[in-house]
Structure 1
Amino acid sequence: MGAALFVDGGYAIKAWGSVAGGAKMDYLKFRTFIEDEAGEKLGDAYYFNCDNDPPNAAQNGFHNFLRSAPPRGAGMRVKLYWLQTKHHEWPSHMGGGAIVHPETGEQYVTKAQKAVDVGLAFHLMRSFSKVKWDRLYLVAGDGDFHEVVQHLVENEGVHVTLVGNSSSISSELAPFVQIIEFDSIVDKLQKD
């Protein structure tokens, strides 16, 4: 009936990086691997991540490669969300003011992705409702996807395969999925 691929780019970068020793993943090889695993061409294929503001040339080139049809690219729909910058401050009951490094005086600042998980879950369910694929390959490990995955498996009969590292996959997802470990396929997916 069909197969779909959904990639949480942030998760993929971390999980792949932990086993690849600095080598980059070739997403065209990855798509081919998934199609071989599924025994057919993929229907929907999506890549979700957040983007720097402004995006840099390397990111633009990578996203254009992902969007381009095979064999020039991975043939994926790219959905980019945003990073939120937070300048940390002490609570007012502790005196208030910026939290700064004791030697450099730089304020403690973090960046966090926003809306990627919600976007992935929305487009995943939207894709399923339109296409009714029966196999899902999901590169993600976040427990936030637990309800969606459980629903697809228990109520819709979808076979879900998570691709990543079992050590970084939420225990809430594990009972509902098959897992393909990146370390077992790293040699097949490295960029030349």
Structure 2
Amino acid sequence: MHAEPKQGGQFQRGISQHPTIEDKAHIVTEKDLRAIYGPSDPIDFVSIGHLASAESIPAYVDINKLVTRHSAIVGSTGCGKSTTVAGLLNSISDQSQFPSARILVLDIHGEYAKAVGDKANVFKIGADTVKGEKELQIPFWALNFEEMTKFSFGNIDNSKFATISDWVMKLKRESLT
């Protein structure tokens, strides 16, 4: 059950009730962890690894909630963010489980091509066709005016850019009449 936060409330971290002397303590077993972390409907869940406290228990993510809501994977350097993303991409791109999945990844550092292997088409700007890379071709209509001008005329100074901009606006107005 989700409780709405109270306005003006104070966030408190940690436990709110401490054990007292002679309270019973219970060791959390693997069975307990499975009950806590196990998915309610495994069809809608994908594995992204294993629990740190029990390697035999997979860590699952509800894929429907992940892709239909805002999501973020955050953490400090070296904590496994890229590995988590690679695992998610690998799971989501499994055609036997998600035959209609279509994923677009803008992988600026080239980290994820190996993670999805032969399940993906990888395109690169300035591809090396000798190595079997595929060239990414961007249609002109996907470029903004500044990008299109740079592509068409190369690096130009601001006065020439302004002149080109003025001419384009003039021609657009003329085409409307």
TM-score, structure 1 normalization? 0.23
Which has the larger strand fraction? 1
Return the index of the structure with the highest Cα Rg. Answer: 2
